[in-house]
Amino acid sequence: MSFRALLVEKSEAGEVSANIREIDESQLPADGDVTVDVAYSTVNYKDGLCVNGLGGLVRNFPHVPGIDFAGTVSQSSDDRYKVGDKVVLTGWRVGEAWWGGYAQKAKVKADWLVPLPDGLSLQQAMAVGTAGFTSMLAVIALEKLGLKPGNGEVLVTGAAGGVGSVATAILAKLGHEVAAVTGRPEQADYLKGLGASRIVPREDVSTPSGRPLDKETWAGCVDAVGGQMLATILPQMKYGASVAAVGLAGGNKLETTVIPFLLRGVNLLGIDSVMQPYENRVEAWRRIAADLPLDKLGEMMETASLEDLPKLGRDILKGRVKGRVVVDVAG
Banded model confidence at residue 218, pLDDT cuts 50, 70, 90:
very high
Q: 140 and 95 share a domain?
A: no
Q: Is the pLDDT of residue 7 over 90?
A: yes
At residue 250, the 3 state secondary structure works out as coil
More confident residue, 7 or 45: 7
Residues 51-93: pLDDT tens digits? 999 999 999 999 999 999 999 999 999 999 999 999 999 999 9
Residue 295 is assigned to a structural domain of this protein:
no
Same structural domain, 203 and 310:
no
Percentage of the chain beyond pLDDT 70 is: 100
Is 85 found in the same domain as 16?
A: yes
Q: What percent of the chain has pLDDT over 90?
A: 94
pLDDT greater than 90 at residue 285: yes
pLDDT at 31: 93
- 257 within a domain of the structure (yes/no): yes
Domain assignment present for 287: no
Predicted local distance difference test score (pLDDT) of residue 227: 96
In a domain, 314, yes or no: yes
For residue 215, pLDDT beyond 90: yes
Single pTM value for the model:
0.92
* pLDDT score, position 299: 86
97: containing domain = 2-116+300-328
pLDDT averaged over every residue in the chain: 96
What CATH number corresponds to the domain at position 69?
Answer: 3.90.180.10
pLDDT band for position 249 (cuts 50, 70, 90): confident
Residues 84 and 62 in one domain: yes
Q: How much is the average pLDDT of 233-256?
A: 96
Tell me the average pLDDT across 209-219: 97
CATH of the domain at 195: 3.40.50.720
Q: Quick one: average pLDDT of 117-121?
A: 95
| Domain shared by 31 and 90, yes or no | yes
pLDDT value at residue 156: 98
Instruction: State residue 323's pLDDT score.
Output: 87
Does residue 245 sit in the same domain as residue 320? Answer: no
Query: What are all long-range contacts of 21-26, with beta carbons under 8 Å and residues at least 24 apart?
Result: 23/64, 23/103, 23/105, 25/1, 25/105
With a cut of 90, say whether residue 254 has pLDDT above it: yes
Q: Is residue 152 domain-shared with residue 101, that is, in the same domain? A: no
pLDDT reading at 322 higher than 90 = no
Residue 331: what pLDDT?
Answer: 82
Give residue 319's pLDDT. 86
Sign of CA dihedral 300, 128, 92, 70: negative
**Cα 231 from chain centroid (whole Å):** 22
In a domain, 276, yes or no: no
In sequence order, what are the beta bridge partners of 36?
Answer: 73, 106
Per-residue b or e along 28-53, where b marks 16 or more CB atoms closer than 10 Å to that residue's CB = beeebbbbbbbbbbbbbbbbbbbbbb
Least confident of 48-52, 138-142, 159-163: 159-163
Total domains, the chain: 2
49/45 Cα distance (integer angstroms): 7
**pLDDT over threshold 90, residue 298:** no
Mean pLDDT across 173-184: 97
**CA-based radius of gyration for the chain:** 20
